[in-house]
A and B are shown apart, each in its own frame.
Chain A
């Protein structure tokens, strides 16, 4: 079975500071893609960053970067220089190369404090 665990239901960070959101997952497959999605109050799902499991180099996207530890099945998201607009729910997800569906965690609610 494929599962995603986000153990931090809520987090807060001061504006301009750095915050790390945790995610672990479980799969017996070796080829898959990992994602972080942002869901603001509008409920639109916005792709933040994507990581291919076969790549050892951690993905980065401007202020967002990941720490991908394949052996530990860990995929954390680091947000640097936090901005008020980063306030949202953040979902960790993955999909298998051979699969169709995305598997989502239960989300972490991040609040950036001015």
Chain B
């Protein structure tokens, strides 16, 4: 049973470009969570999605960031017009249902570097 998959593992973007991060949840999981880890810090919640719905985006920056989880395919975290401060590791987690959201399985992360 494959775990949570994220790609790419490393992404380099120049300032002003767009970054697209992908997350495929574990088989049977329909709930996805995105977290950001800035250097020397712990993970910070960004957004929680269920298939085709954003449930909680309270941790998402108001501008330039968006997330989706379509009916088919992986969840996408999109960062438009990236800036140096967006350089971080972005982790995705998934769970089987909202009732057991405490059982979140984490992916290996995508390290975004903005030059």
Q: Chain B contacts of A45 at CB under 8 A?
A: 43, 91, 106, 109
B42 touching A107, Cβ below 8 Å: yes
Q: Which of A37, A43, A93, A100 contacts B56 (CB 8 A)?
A: A100
Q: Chain A contacts of B12 at CB under 8 A?
A: none
Q: Which of A95, A97, A104 contacts B44 (CB 8 A)?
A: A104
A101 touching B56, Cβ below 8 Å: yes
B69 adjacent to chain A (CB < 8 Å)? no
B109 touching A100, Cβ below 8 Å: no
- B42, closest chain A residue (CB): A104
Q: Which of B43, B56, B104 has the most CB of A within 10 A?
A: B43
B108 touching A42, Cβ below 8 Å: yes
Interface size class of B (residues with CB under 8 A): 20 to 34
B48 touching A101, Cβ below 8 Å: yes
The majority secondary structure among interface residues of chain A is loop
Q: Which of A100, A102, A104 contacts B98 (CB 8 A)?
A: A100
B44 touching A99, Cβ below 8 Å: no
B42 touching A95, Cβ below 8 Å: no
A-contact bits for B51-66, CB 8 A (1 contact / 0 none): 0000110010000000
Give me 17 A-to-B residue pairs in the complex whose CB atoms sit less than 8 angstroms apart, sorted by A's number: A43-B109, A50-B102, A91-B42, A91-B43, A93-B42, A100-B48, A100-B55, A100-B101, A101-B33, A101-B56, A102-B43, A102-B45, A102-B93, A103-B45, A104-B35, A106-B40, A106-B41
List residues of A whose CB falls within 8 A of some B CB.
Answer: 4, 33, 37, 42-45, 50, 91, 93, 95, 97, 99-107
Q: 5 more A-B contacts (CB under 8 A) besides A100-B45, A100-B98, A102-B93? A: A43-B109, A93-B43, A95-B101, A95-B102, A101-B45
